[in-house]
């Protein structure tokens, strides 16, 4: 009361204790009450913090903290005002000029957070990322950045809910993080759909016009003069035509220039929408009479599964992004030649649509640790990691002794493998430490425990001590440790503690992790305690970052495509061999002929098992990995083999999360998000 000019609001909360500059309370009241109280405390130099962890949901915890003004945070971490574009008080975009200014500054330590093979129970990978970053920054006083992906609207309104971390280790404000952010996903949606529209429009116009009519329209008279645009000059050069004057083209050259001659059956580019809409998985387009009967079967993908999202995550600058956007292959011609977005003439427009999305988004954790939230590629059909640019800028900002904690999607066999073989290959960055997240209850499932569903009470096997079941499941932990060590990087296991875990169970996991070759294995309580609960993990990561490491890629990209696929299947998944379906074999031949055989491999398989069968837990043995098809993301820079059926448009469950989401019209607070 002495600190604050207005204590009437605070008096309605039940105070627990006051120490240092923190007020602890044990009764939340309404979330609007907490937020008003937080503003009062912040103005008075105090921090308001709830200690009823068991009764607080993530959104209430998020609202109980007052974030620093984002401009202040940007200044504290070493950004200058010209490098920051504010989006309100809680988020900002960081310009790429920051990377140019800091180019001579040494990089900090690079830490990737991954996990065991995930289960429906959730292992807390994002929460661990935030807890570790808070421990390094707020408690060990190191310069630190966390780098994570932007969540898709699909899971947010579908089955998962928010993805900001959880408990006392999360990104705030949670609503801003999960809803729209700064519009990057919307920009990707617009760009992807522009390409799709260009493809079908070009097919239509080529089918309904002569060469001369096409040429007249593609190179129109402007003030009495015909002139090629820059992108048309690039197409002429690709065709081997060295003429700059439109009137000098021969009829044969004109024909080659105007006819992309797209084979509709080879179109790989789909329209996108950032909503789970299962009825768009297969559609018929061109039904209007104005399309003169030129209809075809197509589909929608969810936006985060688009190649433009993967391009955003892997690019290292505007010029590189334009090149990648231009070389995206959308189809083949009837003679088997790849047709690119550059051929369609749309590359410059895509770059314009993406010019702001390329800038990383700056936010913060509950404890004021800076976070870059940028890009959100799927971890099955794409590489499932946040952007190279965010990591690069963060590594410069933290300095040589600082840490950047970046998260890889799904388990170590998917997100981590792609982080090393794809993301690190393109970025040139070398990681120092792998943090492998595991939970007792998930390991019990891998040991043969009963099936569980989210929201359903757990069987007793998961709430009571069962050392044998746990020991059996630790085989998955051991395999994922081995997978990380294949790349020559030390592994620290983070055992994410739940209240039902016993000390004997936690000790067993730590013991078996060390026996499997982990540098260390520590218990973490960051959900309940924030950075303090990940202090032992942070100290272990510090020590591991100073240990000798010998980073290496799993394969040489010059190897034949089939050999690269086999290496991943055998060494990472534990398969006996691979089996190529006829379509996959034909695609490998085609892509090799088209000059794409030297691209890295991005395996598209279930995340729920090391094998292709999601029901096979633990460490499956004696299986052959079936390769159903192979597709190319040439702009992003990888080939992705499809193992089994891989959906790129999720569906809504019977009771989606949106049943609980609403807006308070008085306070304008978002309720029910998580």
Closest by CA to 22, choosing from 295, 366, 288, is: 366
Task: Exactly one of 372, 378, 527, 638 is catalytic; name it.
Answer: 527
177 is catalytic: no
> Are 504 and 145 contacting, i.e. CB atoms less than 8 angstroms apart?
no
Residue 99 φ/ψ, nearest 5 degrees:
-65, -40
127 is catalytic: yes
> Are 142 and 132 contacting, i.e. CB atoms less than 8 angstroms apart?
no
Question: Across-strand partners of 408?
Answer: 385
The DSSP call for residue 451 is: P
551 is catalytic: no
The DSSP call for residue 414 is: I
Helix (H) or strand (E) holding 300: strand 300-302
Distance between CA atoms of 35 and 46, rounded to whole angstroms? Answer: 13
**Burial class (CB within 10 angstroms; exposed 0-12, middle 13-18, buried 19+) of 38:** buried
**Burial class (CB within 10 angstroms; exposed 0-12, middle 13-18, buried 19+) of 283:** middle
Question: Across-strand partners of 496?
Answer: 524
Distance between CA atoms of 117 and 140, rounded to whole angstroms? Answer: 30
125 is catalytic: yes
For 55, other C-beta atoms within 10 Å of its C-beta total: 10
What token pair was written down for 119?
């289960």
> Are 97 and 83 contacting, i.e. CB atoms less than 8 angstroms apart?
yes
Closest by CA to 312, choosing from 429, 303, 411, is: 303
The DSSP call for residue 601 is: B
498 is catalytic: yes
Strand order in the sheet with 22-25: 15-19, 22-25, 47-50
Task: Exactly one of 379, 442, 494, 540 is catalytic; name it.
Answer: 379
Task: Exactly one of 160, 259, 485, 628 is catalytic; name it.
Answer: 160
Distance between CA atoms of 432 and 454, rounded to whole angstroms? Answer: 35
Residues in the chain: 674
Distances in Å between the Cα of 169 and the Cα atoms of 130, 178, 337, 365, 492 are 5, 15, 50, 7, 19
160 is catalytic: yes
Task: Exactly one of 93, 149, 396, 564 is catalytic; name it.
Answer: 149
Task: Exactly one of 125, 202, 392, 566 is catalytic; name it.
Answer: 125
Task: Exactly one of 498, 519, 623, 638 is catalytic; name it.
Answer: 498
Label the pairing between strands 403-407 and 662-663.
Answer: unpaired
Return the beta strands (E) in 149-281 as ranges: 165-166, 169-172, 221-222, 225-226, 271-273
Place of tokens 């965010």: 390
410 is catalytic: yes
Question: Across-strand partners of 226?
Answer: 221
What token pair was written down for 284?
């018929």
Q: 324: which residues sit within 8 A by CB, 6+ positions away? A: 311, 314, 315, 635, 636, 637
Task: Exactly one of 90, 114, 119, 127 is catalytic; name it.
Answer: 127
Residues known to be catalytic: 125, 127, 149, 160, 379, 410, 498, 527
């Amino acid at each position: 009361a002495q600190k604050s000019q207005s204590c009437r609001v605070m008096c309605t909360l039940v105070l627990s204790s006051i120490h240092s500059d923190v007020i602890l309370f044990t009764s939340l009241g309404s979330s609007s009450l907490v937020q008003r109280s937080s503003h009062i405390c912040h103005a008075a130099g105090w921090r308001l913090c709830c200690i009823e962890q068991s009764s607080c949901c993530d959104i209430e915890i998020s609202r109980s903290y007052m974030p620093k003004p984002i401009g202040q945070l940007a200044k504290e971490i070493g950004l200058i005002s010209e490098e920051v574009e504010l989006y309100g008080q809680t988020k900002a975009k960081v310009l790429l000029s920051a990377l140019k200014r800091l180019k001579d500054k040494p990089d900090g330590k690079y830490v990737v957070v991954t996990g065991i093979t995930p289960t429906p129970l959730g292992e807390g990978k994002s929460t661990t990322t935030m807890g570790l970053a808070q421990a390094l920054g707020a408690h060990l006083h190191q310069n630190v950045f966390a780098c994570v992906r932007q969540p898709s609207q699909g899971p947010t309104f579908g089955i998962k809910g928010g993805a900001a971390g959880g408990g006392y280790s999360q990104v705030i404000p949670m609503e801003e993080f999960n809803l729209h952010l700064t519009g990057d996903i919307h920009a990707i949606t617009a760009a992807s759909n522009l390409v799709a529209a260009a493809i079908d429009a070009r097919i239509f116009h080529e089918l309904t016009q002569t060469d001369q009519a096409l040429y007249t329209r593609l190179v129109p008279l402007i003030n009495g003069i015909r002139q090629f645009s820059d992108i048309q000059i690039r197409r002429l050069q690709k065709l081997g035509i060295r003429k700059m004057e439109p009137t000098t083209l021969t009829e044969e050259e004109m024909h080659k220039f105007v006819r992309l001659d797209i084979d509709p059956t080879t179109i790989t580019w789909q329209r996108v929408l950032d909503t789970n809409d299962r009825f768009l998985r297969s559609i018929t387009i061109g039904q209007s009479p104005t399309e003169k009967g030129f209809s075809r079967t197509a589909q929608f993908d969810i936006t985060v599964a688009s190649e433009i999202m993967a391009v955003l995550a892997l690019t290292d600058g505007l010029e590189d992004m334009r090149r990648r956007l231009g070389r995206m292959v959308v189809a083949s011609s009837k003679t088997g030649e790849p047709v690119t977005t550059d051929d369609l003439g749309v590359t410059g427009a895509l770059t314009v649509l993406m010019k702001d999305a390329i800038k990383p988004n700056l936010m913060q954790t509950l404890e004021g640790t800076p976070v870059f939230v940028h890009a959100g590629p799927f971890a099955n059909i794409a590489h499932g990691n946040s952007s190279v640019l965010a990591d690069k800028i963060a590594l410069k900002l933290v300095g040589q002794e600082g840490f950047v904690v970046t998260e890889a999607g799904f388990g170590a066999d998917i997100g981590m493998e792609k982080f090393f073989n794809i993301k690190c290959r393109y970025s040139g960055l070398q990681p120092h430490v792998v943090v492998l997240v595991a939970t007792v209850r998930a390991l019990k499932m891998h040991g043969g425990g009963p099936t569980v569903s989210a929201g359903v009470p757990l069987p007793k096997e998961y709430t009571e001590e069962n050392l044998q079941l746990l020991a059996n499941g630790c085989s998955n932990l051991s395999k994922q440790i081995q997978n990380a060590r294949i790349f020559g990087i030390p592994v620290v296991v983070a055992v994410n503690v739940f209240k039902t875990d016993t000390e004997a169970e936690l000790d067993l996991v730590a013991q078996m992790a060390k026996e499997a070759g982990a540098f260390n294995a520590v218990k973490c309580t960051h959900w309940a305690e924030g950075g303090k609960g990940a202090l032992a993990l942070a100290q272990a990561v510090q020590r591991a970052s100073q240990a000798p490491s010998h980073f290496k890629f799993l394969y040489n990209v010059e190897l034949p495509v089939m050999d690269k696929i086999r290496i991943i299947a055998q060494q990472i998944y534990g398969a006996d061999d691979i089996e190529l379906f006829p379509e996959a074999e034909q695609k490998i031949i085609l892509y090799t002929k088209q000059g794409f055989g030297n691209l890295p491999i991005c395996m598209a398989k279930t995340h729920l098992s090391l094998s292709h069968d999601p029901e096979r837990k633990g460490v499956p043995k004696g299986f052959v990995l079936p390769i159903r098809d192979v597709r190319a993301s040439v702009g992003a820079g990888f080939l992705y083999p499809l193992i089994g059926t891989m959906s790129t448009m999720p569906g809504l469950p019977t009771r989606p999360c949106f049943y609980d989401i609403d807006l308070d019209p008085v306070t304008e607070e978002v309720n029910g998000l998580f």
